[in-house]
Amino acid sequence: MSAITTLPEAIAELVGDGDTVALEGFTHLIPFAAGHEVIRQGRVDLTLVRMTPDLLYDQMIGMGCAKGLVFSYGGNPGVGSLHRFRDAIENGWPNPLEVEEHSHAGMANRYAASAAGMPMAIMRGYRGTALMAHTRVEEIECPFTGETLVAVPALDLDVAIVHAQEADRDGNVQLWGIPGVQKEAVLGARRSLVTVERIVEALKPRPGGVVIPGWTIDAVAEAPGGSLPSYALGITERDNDFYKFWDKLSRDRDEFRSWMDEHVMAEVGAR
């Protein structure tokens, strides 16, 4: 049974400097509130893992939380670049960022391997691309057919943080809509935190619902609206205008920092 706690307490207990942390959510259910709490508590030297860094990691990178990034698509979906991510890689601001990049299929398989407790996953892909030489993958021969495949290493996650629509009072969690790799992240990490829109008496089965039993989760914290400007299907709507606004605001270091000071560090509402 997971402990139902507050977000600040959960972050203080579960996330340490230097940890490898995955805050997952594929466009949907991105745990912004939890990421903002990590920023407010001043964690540094994190290796951030996420398929699509999105605005949340742009903010965490720009605020100096990260020393490394493991990812597969570093763009502002449908809008363009992530400017803080680019500034860190192109100019080392606010600090240099060590990058390990994969394809989506590679990352998805790395999460699945970690959830399965396997050292690696095998797949078709990568071969013929320049990624082979720039990331951690190896060719491997299928012992049954002789086909050359590619092995990707399991992710080694200290902490997984995801957002879901609901938890019950025992900390069992249910999410629905686009499920991304959240279940794999929670099962594959040594420690896990789930933030939820609301805590309910009992979970009601939903079409396409993914249930994560409370005994596999360390902490559950209530964070209404905690995935905005991403969204929680059925409860909040994706703030597409904010994604466009971010493209302009985040180009400038000072404007970025003052926006973060006002809207995140001062804890004025969870964005």
Partner 1 sequence: MSTPPSLPRTPTSATAAEIQTIVAARLLRDARSVFIGVGRPSTAAILARELYNPDLVLVYESGTIGARPWRIPLSIGDGELAETAEAVVSVPEMFNYWIGPGRIQVAFLGAAQVDRLGNLNSTVIGDYDHPKTRLPGAGGAPEIALGCPEVIVVAPHSTRTFVEKLDFLTTVAAPKAVITDLGVLEPDPETKELALTELHPGASAEAASEATGWDLAIAATPATTEAPSAAELAALRELIAR
Which residues contribute to the site for partner 1 (CB under 8 A)?
26-28, 51-52, 71-75, 77-79, 81-82, 85-86, 89-90, 101-106, 108-109, 111-112, 123-126, 128-131, 134, 177-181, 183-184, 208, 210, 231, 233, 237-238, 240, 243
Of the pair 179, 226, the CB lying nearest partner 1 is at 179
- Least distance between partner 1 and beta carbon 106 (Å): 8
Q: Give 42 or 208: the residue with its C-beta nearer to partner 1.
A: 208
Q: Provide the minimum distance between the beta carbon of 181 and partner 1 in the complex, in angstroms, as a whole number.
A: 5
Q: What minimum distance in Å lies between the beta carbon of 159 and partner 1?
A: 20
Dihedrals phi, psi of 199, to nearest 5 degrees: -105, 125
**Nearest to partner 1 of 4, 212 (CB atom):** 212
Q: What letters, b where the CB count within 10 A reaches 16 and e where it falls short, cover 27-45?
A: bbbbbbbbbbbbbbeebee
Toward partner 1, which CB reaches closer, 28 or 43? 28
* Residue (237 or 261) nearer to partner 1, CB: 237
Report the Cα 131 to chain-centroid distance in Å.
22
Amino acid at 3: A
CB of residue 119 to partner 1, shortest distance in Å: 17
Q: How far is the CB of 55 from partner 1 (least distance, A)?
A: 11
What residues have CB less than 8 Å from 176, skipping those under 6 apart?
165, 206, 207, 208, 209, 210, 233, 234
